[in-house]
A = this chain, B = another copy of it.
Amino acid sequence: MTDFKTILQHKDLKATHQRLVILEELEKAKHIDIDKLYNLVISSCPTLSKATLYRNLNELVSKDIITEVKVANQKNMYETTKLPHIHLICKKCGSIEDEVIDTTFLLNEVSKHRNFQIEASSISLSGICEKCLTKV
């Protein structure tokens, strides 16, 4: 299990009970929106207010401990920051899967045509996931 207490302290954030619960639920859920996360969090921490959840998600995003994932037709999702990966988003069931993939080829292709200094990439593919394909 990830040691979020140390991570928080390294980023000059206090390791409060609320923050630890938020991060643990986020880690378990992989990708989740605010409302679903709120419902999970209040079972371990019933007094937590939505204001605190909003404040912490913003804080954690700005310190790059978690990442905001924007998806068409869905609310903003959050995930704990991991190695670079792409998202496979199912149009049927809305699930999001991670896939680690080498994007060097793509980035080189862009660099060949453009004088643009790439620092990060965000790639998502939408379509039908394996589960929904077999359901048809």
Across the interface, do A117 and B122 meet the contact criterion of CB distance under 8 Å? no
A93 to chain B, nearest CB (A): 12
Size of the chain A interface, CB-CB below 8 angstroms = 36
Beyond A99-B110, A106-B101, A109-B101, whether A133 also contacts B120 by CB under 8 A is no
| Interface residue ranges of A104-136 to B (CB < 8 Å) | 105-107, 109-110, 113-130, 133
- Is A68 an interface position by the 8 A CB rule? yes
Beyond A106-B105, A106-B106, A110-B125, whether A119 also contacts B91 by CB under 8 A is yes
A95 to chain B, nearest CB (A): 10
A44 to chain B, nearest CB (A): 29
Report which residue of A99, A101, A117 has the largest number of chain B beta carbons within 10 angstroms of its beta carbon.
Answer: A117
Q: Which 3 A-B pairs have the closest CB atoms?
A: A70-B70, A119-B127, A115-B130
